[in-house]
Amino acid sequence: MARALNQLSREERKQVTKGRSFSILQGAGALVLATSVAGPAAAQAPYDPARSSVVPAVFQAAGLTPASIQSTVDQYRAALGAVNNGNNPGPLDAGRREINWDGGGSTATSPGPTPFTVFLQTRGANITTPGTGFMQAPLDGLVSTFANDTYAVIFQAFSPVRLFSPVGSNQTEVEFFVPGSQGAVAATTTGFGVVFTDVDRPNGTGPQGRLGHLRASALIEYFDQYGSLLYTGVVPASPANASLSFFGVVFADARIARVRITAGNKAPGGDDTPRADIVMMDDFLYGEPKAIQ
């Protein structure tokens, strides 16, 4: 074991020695991986071992077409809440919110700043990135924004026609507030899920074939109101260009205050290669935000 660890990269050794748990599931035409990390609450929060050890229901799928993941997305919608609450102000007792980036059928290439507050008042989502901002764009808009012609063929939209991406980063964070409160009432939600396009990793490979699952490129981290990590989910991959993937979780109660999405292992702009997995996002789906008591 000591010799094997010495042959791994510095980052892989860190992950192995931390003792994180990984399980590999074989999906249709793709290697599907799920991870879970649960830890004690942050220092400012009372430690509740029962709360910190709860594992959510997980929904995941990957395939070549929107139809290949549609049933899983629909099941997830039902688990969040049968009614799409749209732009109706809260607080509401039940239902879900969705953001599909299409702006009533818009095909425009639309840049946005960080924080991205377009959906803060109407759907309770405050969206930020360590990068310079965000882009909502159809495929040709991605080509022009990131100056890469290959983006016209390696991505596709789940809900046509626009995709969503941070600019200058591969990370996006979403904090939840009661819709209609102008961001004044912090909230938590039962679940959050995202549609991704062209997730190539995990692909079952790695240094000399070992521990390839540690090199996943897309994941979602879920945090509670105290900043404690509740769960980490690795997004399932599909091996072809322009594939689609979905990952989402649902807890029994509203405990997610913030999520961090890592879309690919490199910020958009470069070529999609075996080492640089460039990933775009489509629909965000989440349970109705509830005011933190």
The pLDDT tens digits of the residues spanning 61-94 come to: 999 999 999 999 999 999 999 999 999 999 999 9
Average pLDDT, the chain: 84
Please tell me the predicted confidence (pLDDT) of residue 192.
99
Angle at 290 (CA atoms; ends 284, 293), nearest 5 degrees: 145
**Inside any domain, residue 138:** yes
**Inside any domain, residue 51:** no
Please tell me the predicted confidence (pLDDT) of residue 286.
99
Range of the domain at 121: 21-39+56-197+212-291
Tell me the pTM: 0.81
**Inside any domain, residue 16:** no
**Inside any domain, residue 15:** no
Please tell me the predicted confidence (pLDDT) of residue 214.
53
Question: Tokens in use for 183?
Answer: 């961001």
Instruction: Indicate the helix (H) or strand (E) that contains 230.
Output: strand 229-234
**Inside any domain, residue 101:** yes
Q: Are 192 and 286 in contact (CB under 8 A)?
A: yes
pLDDT at position 264 over 60: yes
Please tell me the predicted confidence (pLDDT) of residue 48.
56
Mean pLDDT value across residues 13-41: 33
Instruction: State the residue for tokens 């791994």.
Output: 8
Question: Tokens in use for 204?
Answer: 């079952």
Number of domains in the chain: 1
Mean pLDDT value across residues 176-180: 98
**Inside any domain, residue 61:** yes
Q: Could you tell me the end-to-end alpha-carbon distance of the chain, in angstroms, rounded to an integer?
A: 48
d(CA 91, CA 178): 6
Mean pLDDT value across residues 146-163: 98
Please tell me the predicted confidence (pLDDT) of residue 5.
37
What φ, ψ does residue 130 adopt, rounded to 5°?
A: -70, -10
pLDDT at position 155 over 60: yes
Tell me the pLDDT band of 28, cut-offs 50, 70 and 90: very low
Tell me the pLDDT band of 59, cut-offs 50, 70 and 90: very high
**Inside any domain, residue 111:** yes
**Inside any domain, residue 14:** no
Distances (CA, A) of 90 to 100, 178, 224, 288: 20, 6, 20, 9
- Burial class, 107, CB count within 10 angstroms (exposed 0-12 / middle 13-18 / buried 19+): middle
Question: Tokens in use for 206?
Answer: 């790695």
